[in-house]
Chains A and B, each alone.
Chain A
């Protein structure tokens, strides 16, 4: 593998053409920053809306309603839902959001019956800081998802205001469920009374079923029970519910994929431009290398390798910056009380690097092939 012996030569070409290399890397980094950010949004949507075999949660909502402010169901539906075959538990929730529009900084209060909740969905919580007992004891206490706590800089013992509610931070929790990352869990009565007097009214029920195969049949049974009620229900699997509520976001993120592809095209154009200019400026240098005994194939490999290295450095800088921003910002796209986190995982970095490597190869192929086919004597005559 002669190309490995040539790595110092490639490195010197990059480091000693400093301005050209820096500008190329900067351009690639900017494009890869955007690409990775779009991918992080895509990943969040995919995670939030793709059903898996582990999904056993249904959301019972008011039929023909699409936001927490208008979905009102009697709390006493709980007993009737729990009596449906295949249902393990039903948790009533009153949801209040600080902003009904799509936003990156929405605070969502979920009022739940505390003891019941902690024996059901709350069992998966891992306490990061604070106290669960404190949360149970105080009426105005909230358990915050760690994304919300980090974004707002909230710690146990502090109070905060949002959506006209003043709450005390009793603890910060970590949950495997993405929907828990960006919410504040408080007592059901506290949220019901916080706005207008809505005791006995909830926004939705989160229903646990025995297994994933029961999601559709149980949903049908629940809706059938309340079909003729004054407040009829519409029941969906949690992922389908998110998909329905966040339809606009999903469409927007789907469009953003084109932006991502545009970023890749920009990277390709940048690297190709840098390589073509470099090869044109170095016709006689490549002829010298061939005179010294470098084969045409090795010269081509050097040109491609230079493109790949530039691509990888730019990709690493851009993708790392995007992930760092996403991670430190703890962003989540929220709509109607449903949050879709922007997922920054190392997989995105690896994907970005692979994409950059492939782009580097493609960008260098044509100029490398042309350089390898040039007649040496002709190069010296024209140089």
Chain B
């Protein structure tokens, strides 16, 4: 069952007198429960596609439908509300708020949800335990290693229980053991929790954890190493 459907998806930027088109007339279907890795050279449009799917950018033309909602038709405020409910974002550089503890960082997206203090506490604790970082709940980001920070970022991404997790080079700043731990965590979220994961990566080794890999170049899909029908429904 298709969760994300892109048709003729195009994104253009104006830079001075030039128009840059990181995504050019792209068609893509992502089934629910997929773990998709996007690869390609710098400037191929991977992150742009990820941002469009996450609802933090809007297409110039074409349609992008996620679970029946055409994101291109949503206003900024509607997109914000949609993101709060449906997407968790994992950044390469973690992007935790430095003055908040790990616990408070994970709690941050729950502010937008109508939950009691106790419900919030339960959810944050569960998310921190799920990523194996509960013992560092009171630590500030500066007191954590890169791998630990990324675990907190993943906990923040899953705490609202979104259907989709997008990850932009989640291991790009990590050493090998930490990268393995983070990828195993994402794989587990995909397999045991049924999260649909779309990940941008430069590292071919991390694609081993994904169910399929797509390659982009100059804003277009150039090859796929796994047929769409192999993805779990």
**A interface: dominant SS:** helix
Known: A2-B112, A16-B99. A290 touches B104 (CB 8 A): no
A292-B108, A292-B112, A293-B83 given; A284·B95 CB < 8 A: yes
Contact A289-B56, Cβ < 8 Å, known A12-B99, A295-B80, A297-B77: no
- A343-383 residues at the B interface, CB under 8 angstroms: 375-377, 380
Tell me whether A70 is interfacial, beta carbon within 8 Å: no
Q: Which A residues lie within 8 Å of B95 (CB)?
A: 284, 288
Q: A9-B111, A376-B57, A377-B51 are in contact. Are A295 and B97 (CB under 8 A)?
A: no
CB-defined contacts of A295 to chain B, threshold 8 Å: 76-77, 80-81
Q: Chain B's nearest CB lies how many Å from the CB of A360?
A: 20
- Judge whether B56 and A290 touch: CB under 8 Å: yes
Can you name the residue of chain B whose Cβ is closest to the Cβ of A372? B76
Q: How many residues of B contact A (CB 8 A)?
A: 26
Main secondary structure of the interface of B (DSSP, over half): helix
Q: Which chain A positions have C-beta within 8 A of B217?
A: none
Partner of A291 from B56, B82, B160 at Cβ < 8 Å = B56
Whether the Cβ atoms of A17 and B99 lie closer than 8 Å is yes
B151 at the interface (CB under 8 A from A): no
B156 to A292, Cβ gap below 8 A?
A: yes
- Is B100 located at the chain interface by the 8 A CB criterion? yes
Give, as a whole number of angstroms, the nearest-CB distance from B168 to chain A: 9
Q: A81 to B44, alpha carbons, bound, how many Å?
A: 102
In the complex, which residue of chain A has the Cβ closest to the Cβ of B51? A377
Q: A6-B111, A292-B112, A376-B51 are in contact. List 14 more A-B contacts (CB 8 A).
A: A5-B111, A9-B104, A16-B99, A16-B100, A290-B80, A291-B54, A292-B89, A294-B80, A294-B84, A294-B112, A296-B76, A376-B56, A377-B51, A380-B91
Binding site for B on A (CB under 8 A): 2, 5-6, 9, 12-13, 16-17, 284-285, 288-298, 375-377, 380
A-B contact pairs, 7 of them (CB 8 A): A2-B112, A9-B108, A291-B83, A292-B89, A292-B109, A293-B83, A296-B80
User: Which B residues are closer than 8 A to A by beta carbons?
Assistant: 48, 51, 54, 56-57, 76-77, 80-85, 89, 91, 95, 97, 99-100, 104, 108-109, 111-112, 156, 160
